[in-house]
Amino acid sequence: MFISLQQTTGSRITSLSKQWRDREEELRKLGQSDELICPHCKELVTFRCGEINRPHFAHRQDTKCPLKGNRSPQEIEAKAQLYEALEHTWPDEVQMDVMLDGETQPIDILLLKNGEPFAAYWTLSRTIRNWDAFTAPAENHQIRYHIIYTGDAHKHPEDQLILQKQQRDQIHHSQEFDSCEFANHGHLSFIDIESSQLVIYRGLTCVHSPNGYQYELKRTAPLRQLHINTNGELITSEDISYTKELAILIKQRQEELHRRIEEKHRREREEAEARAKRLISQQQRQQKTKQRQCIYCHQDTDAWALFRPGGKCVCHACLPNHKQQNPNSAAGVLKRAETAARPKIGVYTCVYCKKETSEWSIMSNANKTCVCKECLPEHNRRRTGK
């Protein structure tokens, strides 16, 4: 483990921190003088530093302390590299191997902001059997946590990832960096301990069920050049540039959408105004059409049967008189057609041959006279003057 507690001062010592990085001999003497203990089990620890392993602390006696742990060399090295990078980047306090009150599992790395937990990180190279117990320290204290896998925890043949079930379950969707063209596809982060770089695969999509995944973007950045967003997520400079470009794109799309909405509203207003003008014009025409002066009674009326140019008409009251005076007019022709279609019933006296007959063509109920069929040519000749 990389932490210990100095008994006399009660101060927390991290062997990888900048404060103790060049004070190895002092840490060795503190361990030899029984000054260093485990922060959790309070057992004596000793300081170790060699050419292969990083400076760390070890329990003097065999113990089941959770800080002793059973972590792979890849996980330990990834945790050490991430701690050094975050200590370089994060302006506030960075702690390692943190045991929160009431918890039985440590947090690999904890970021503090104004003395309060801000984000937690674990580095993994294997599958955790009891995942709920493993992440309980962050869940129980409502701390945002992020899982970062070691580079040996995935395979990538032909631009694809072969993911374990636990890795697939931990695919995280970032609303800020995995949106737009990536739909709801998430990302996974890996630490390459050989190059001390973080690799983020974004836009993960399952292409060969259940474990074959394809990615849309691959972000790579040195650990010391990483950024931390408001959710504690580790991001690269490319992510920030993409976010700015995305913000500009979203703004442009919003402006375009606003322009289209305004254009639609403008067309609707113009169409409404045009419909209103047409309606007013139609009403005016109807008003002008309705109000006409009868050529017989000279009354202005809209109850007309026939209309004439110049606002003149024949009202319904004067229509019979008009038909009698204008037998060849449309109204007169219509009257004769109606008369011809009327059943020939009754006996009348012909005004020409003076015979009583029921075979008549034209009749008058007023004086019970008619024009029989034989005298109809004579009747027509006299009326036309031919």
What is the number of other CB atoms lying within 10 angstroms of the CB of residue 143? 19
Does 385 score more than 90 pLDDT? no
Q: Are 135 and 150 in contact (CB under 8 A)?
A: no
- Tell me the pLDDT band of 313, cut-offs 50, 70 and 90: confident
pLDDT tens, 114-137?
Answer: 999 999 999 998 888 889 999 999
pLDDT at position 236, please? Answer: 92
Tokens encoding 144 = 């945002």
- Tell me the pLDDT band of 342, cut-offs 50, 70 and 90: low
Q: Which residue pairs from 48-55 have beta carbons closer than 8 angstroms and sit at least 24 positions apart in sequence? A: 49/15, 49/24, 54/2, 54/15, 54/16, 54/80, 55/2, 55/15, 55/16, 55/20, 55/24, 55/27
User: Which residues have a Cβ under 8 Å from the Cβ of 193 and sit 6 or more positions away?
Assistant: 74, 77, 78, 81, 150, 151
pLDDT at position 289, please? Answer: 57
In angstroms, the CA 377 to CA 371 distance is 10
**Chain-wide mean pLDDT for the chain?**
84
Does 84 score more than 80 pLDDT? yes
Tokens encoding 279 = 């309606």
Q: Which of 145, 116, 119 is nearest to 132 (CA)?
A: 145
Q: Are 230 and 188 in contact (CB under 8 A)?
A: no
- Tell me the pLDDT band of 344, cut-offs 50, 70 and 90: low
Does 176 score more than 80 pLDDT? no
Does 222 score more than 90 pLDDT? yes
- Of the chain, the percentage scoring pLDDT greater than 70 comes to 87
- Tell me the pLDDT band of 27, cut-offs 50, 70 and 90: very high
Does 336 score more than 60 pLDDT? no
pLDDT at position 332, please? Answer: 56
pLDDT at position 52, please? Answer: 82
Does 85 score more than 70 pLDDT? yes
Which pTM value belongs to this model?
A: 0.63
Note the residue count of the chain: 386
